Amino acid sequence: MELISSDIRNFVNYQKLGYVATVSADNTPNLSPKGTIVAIDESHLAFADIRSPQTIENLRQNSSIEINVVDPIHRKGFRFKGTGKIISEGEKFKEILEQYKKNGIKSNISSIVIVSVASLNEVTSPSYDLGVTEDELVSKWKKYYQ
């Protein structure tokens, strides 16, 4: 079943930066930015463990995970919910690691988290509900970030 269409994969792979939510041992949320998020196929995302000790520890205790990837200019994105699996060896690890190297990642990667996406939802700014056009939002946020 294709959850992650080619358009969504292209979006995620272009944006790369997202926010990963896991559940800490005391059942509180843990939110961490990740700059290596990639869509690897129709139902999986991945990110590198570069400086993620709390995220990794949380996933060892509870595999539940949510990733949000949002375009800050267009104010649109996606929420991905699923389960995370930590890998640090094997063919899939080597394949994804090689892709990160091709993309210019120079940091040491000790493991990779593969996320099996169970559901996804589109995220849009409430401004769209008020009739603001995408062009208007893009113009506003480009000016803001300049």
Phi, psi angle pair for 84, to nearest 5°? -110, 140
Please, how many CA atoms are within 13 Å of residue 144, restricted to the half-sphere of its CB?
Answer: 9
Q: Are strands 111-124 and 38-41 parallel, antiparallel or unpaired?
A: unpaired
The domain spans of the chain are 6-145
The mean pLDDT of the chain is 95
Range 6-145: architecture per CATH: Roll (2.30)
CA separation for the pair 53, 55 (Å, rounded): 6
Which structure tokens are listed for 83? 């389960």
User: Residues 62-98: pLDDT tens digits?
Assistant: 999 999 999 999 999 999 999 999 999 999 999 999 9
Residue 71's Cβ-count burial label (10 Å; 0-12, 13-18, 19+) is: middle
Q: How confident is the model at residue 115 (pLDDT cuts 50, 70, 90)?
A: very high
Convert the pLDDT of each residue in 42-52 to its tens digit: 999 999 999 99
In this structure, what token pair is assigned to residue 3? 């959850």
